[in-house]
A and B are shown apart, each in its own frame.
Chain A
Amino acid sequence: MAVSTRRLQKELTEITTAGTPCGITLLKADDFQTWFLTLEVLGESLYQGEVFALMFRFDSQYPISSPAVQFVNDETYQPPIHPHVYSNGHICASILGSEWSPVLSVIAVCITLQSMLASCKDKTRPPDNDRYVAHAPDNPKKTRFVYHDDEV
């Protein structure tokens, strides 16, 4: 079994036996390539009552290589309006790029993104949203984001 598969199997076991943190639920994990989770911000925030979905894509080098993570953008789920989230669901967060560490996990990423939303004070799209979305690659990992602040 590939290392990525073993590792993801462990994460899945942990999720199913110990459960997920508040506001995070596992939507779909039928294989070890693509997982879906829902995310909502509990308590008071600009996103009260909104539910988002995250798509995780893993390659065979996970967890050495980071998962490709983005918000789902379809009929059911839309990405949150946030200065670091593009309208196609791509996320500008250092933890998904240069600050990724192989000891992080799917749930750890969800928690980070949850707190990114929770601390948001200005519900706007990134300033370059249209320009980026027009040329964005399918896989957000192929974008070299420039992280402007560390509050992510």
Chain B
Amino acid sequence: MEDVPDPTDFPPNDIAPGLRELDEALRCTICGDLFSGPLSVACGHCFCSLCIRTQLNVKAECPLCRKSTTEFHLRKVQSIEDAVQAWKIARPYILQLSRDEVQRRLQFAEARAALQDVSTRSPKKRRRNPSLNDDDEVIEIIKPTSKMNGQRSGLSPADSSGSSTPQSVSCPVCQKQVPMAKINQHLDDGCKSPTPIEFEVGSSTTNNKGKQKQDWQKLFGAAESSTGSKGKGKAKSNSKSKLEPSATPIPKVAYHTLKEKRLREMLSDHDLPTTGDKDTLIRRHERWVLVYNANLDRNPRDRETLEELIRKLKKWEDTRGGKKIGVGDVKAYEKANKVVFAGLIEAARPKKPPPKPQQDDPEHDNIEQQRITEATDDPSEIQVPISSSPGSSVPPVTEDEQTGMPVDG
């Protein structure tokens, strides 16, 4: 089973406060993935471009709060897209840190238990008297992890290393030298007090934990001093933007006014297969408009190529999306189309984007305006701009045949 990222990848709130919520907040409530080309609707709720465009073809309301909304209200939410972009980079890193933190806490619990061993003056004897106190269960739980981490230093009075005084001990969690009298308080503080004795860099057993600690410090340090070290994020935006396909959205089409012949022309304008009956052609073109325009709602650097889009369209048709349930020779159809698609995907590779007026400026920030101005270049067909006013859109997706039996409920 493929691993699908999910907010529950993070530890719960008591260990990693807010991380699950953060991950959740950057996910589309329709598909559950991190927003792709986020668009807001009239009420301000936000969804992936493809998700909400597909859904608005079914129903003109916000899926979350049911407030009525149309494509006219769709707005790109640049800030969310930026946040998602950064989170995609930070997520695996923070995931690792939070898992390390879970480990650290287990070690912490173990250290405390070990400390009690020392204080009862039986430093050699690891095994504890089961009746002695109620921390025993914790010890049981962490035993396996201590094996995983290799040999543990435990809490031992500082030995030969000359720098430490006889009254200090090496903290088993952070490896700092801590005065014996302060070790309890130090553990209670989560290794914050008494400050600052440097990490023991040399010891091999400290490396892992020391690194963890530094990672955390980097994490917090970066948040506090928001200077200098942001180079990485900046450099990203300089990277060559993916201009394929061109930044011109396809206007929506009122299909019921179109002849089949015209539909085929429109499909071949976009280098798409022209096989199938009229219903299939409409579904294919309608889906293409969705996929294509949704792709334009992404940052240029995140856009997919025409080749990838055609591949997606094919996959969509293969998984019944392009057909009514109950259509007879599905297999034969798919077989026939596989060949057609294969050729087209190949053909799409070297080619330039569809035959639309090309604009050289890669940054089309004002997509809305563009949609309106470029709505029609062929007066023979009734085309409605994407940002159409309510009610002027395409006929609703044909539903699967229903018995139409009115029933009391």
Residue ranges of A at the interface with B (Cβ–Cβ < 8 Å): 1-3, 6-7, 9-11, 13-14, 17-18, 59-61, 63-64, 83-84, 92-93, 101-103, 126-128, 132, 135-137, 141-148, 152
CA distance A142 to B404 in the complex (A): 8
Contacts of A63 in B (CB 8 A): 30-31
0/1 interface trace, chain B 383-409, chain A, CB 8 Å (1 if under): 000000000000000001111111111
- Residues on the B chain within 8 Å of A141, using CB: 400
Of all chain A residues, which has the CB nearest B315?
A2
Kindly state the separation between the CA atoms of A143 and B319 in the bound complex, as whole angstroms.
23
B residues contacting the other copy or chain, number (CB 8 A):
30
By secondary structure, the B interface counts as loop
Given contacts A64-B55, A64-B58, A147-B409, contact A9 B2 (CB under 8 A): yes
| B84 in contact (CB, < 8 A) | no
Chain B, residue nearest A1 (CB): B2
Q: Does B63 interact with chain A (Cβ within 8 Å)? A: yes
Closest-CB distance, B24 to chain A (whole angstroms): 10
Chain A hits for B402, CB < 8 A: 142-144
**Given A17-B8, A59-B320, A61-B321, A6:B405 Cβ within 8 A:** no
Chain A residues contacting B66 (CB-CB under 8 Å) are: 101
A1 to B408, CA, bound (A): 39
* Total cross-chain contacts (CB, 8 A): 92
Query: Would you call A126 and B321 a contact (CB within 8 A)?
Result: no
Q: List the A side residues contacting B381 at CB < 8 Å.
A: none
Chain A CB within 8 A of B54 CB: yes
List A contacts of B4 (CB < 8 A).
Answer: 1, 6, 9-10, 13
Interface residue ranges, B against A (CB under 8 Å): 1-2, 4, 6, 8, 29-33, 51, 54-55, 58, 63-64, 66, 319-321, 400-409
Q: Are B400 and A64 in contact (CB under 8 A)?
A: no
Name A126's closest neighbour in chain B (CB-CB). Answer: B408
Query: Cβ of B32 and Cβ of A7 under 8 Å apart?
Result: yes
Interface of A is mostly: loop
Contact A146 B409 (CB under 8 A): yes
Q: B1, B319, B409: which contacts A145 (Cβ < 8 A)? A: B409
CB contact under 8 A between A92 and B1, given known A2-B319, A135-B403, A144-B404: no
Give 20 A-B pairs besides A6-B31, A61-B321, A92-B407 with Cβ atoms closer than 8 angstroms.
A9-B2, A10-B32, A13-B6, A63-B30, A64-B58, A84-B409, A101-B66, A102-B29, A102-B30, A102-B51, A103-B30, A128-B408, A141-B400, A142-B402, A143-B407, A144-B403, A144-B404, A144-B406, A145-B409, A152-B409
Given the complex of chains A and B, what is the CA–CA distance between A146 and B66 in angstroms? Answer: 20
Closest chain-A Cβ to B185's Cβ sits at a distance in Å of 36
Residues of chain B lying within 8 A (CB to CB) of residue A144: 402-407
Q: What chain B residues lie within 8 Å of A127 (beta carbons)?
A: 408
Instruction: Please tell me if the beta carbons of B321 and A146 are within 8 angstroms of each other in the complex.
Output: no
Which residues on A sit within 8 Å (CB–CB) of B33? Answer: 6
Instruction: Name the one of A14, A142, A146 contacting B6, with C-beta atoms under 8 angstroms.
Output: A14
Write the nearest CB–CB distance from B64 to chain A, whole angstroms.
5
A135 contacts which of B31, B54, B405 (Cβ < 8 Å)?
Answer: B405
* Residues of B with C-beta under 8 A to A18: 8
Q: Which residue of B lies closest to A146 (CB)?
A: B406
Question: Shortest beta-carbon distance, B402 to chain A, in Å?
Answer: 5
Query: Chain A contacts of B400 at CB under 8 A?
Result: 141-142
Interchain Cβ contacts under 8 Å between A and B, 30 examples: A2-B319, A6-B31, A7-B31, A9-B2, A10-B6, A13-B4, A14-B8, A60-B321, A61-B321, A63-B30, A63-B31, A92-B407, A92-B409, A101-B66, A102-B63, A103-B64, A126-B408, A128-B408, A132-B407, A136-B403, A137-B403, A142-B401, A142-B403, A143-B405, A143-B407, A144-B403, A144-B407, A145-B407, A146-B408, A146-B409
CA distance A83 to B409 in the complex (A): 7
Q: How far is the CA of A90 from the CA of B339 in the complex (A)?
A: 42
B51 to chain A, nearest CB (A): 7
Q: Chain B residues with Cβ under 8 A from A60's Cβ?
A: 319-321
Contacts of A10 in B (CB 8 A): 4, 6, 32
- Interchain CB contact under 8 A, B408 and A148: yes
B29-A126 in contact (CB<8A): no
Task: Determine the distance from Cα of A102 to Cα of B47 in the docked complex, in whole angstroms.
Answer: 11
A128-B32 in contact (CB<8A) = no
Cα distance A136–B403 in the bound complex, in angstroms: 8
Chain A: minimal CB distance from B404 (Å)? 5
Instruction: Tell me the bound Cα distance from A132 to B409 in angstroms.
Output: 11
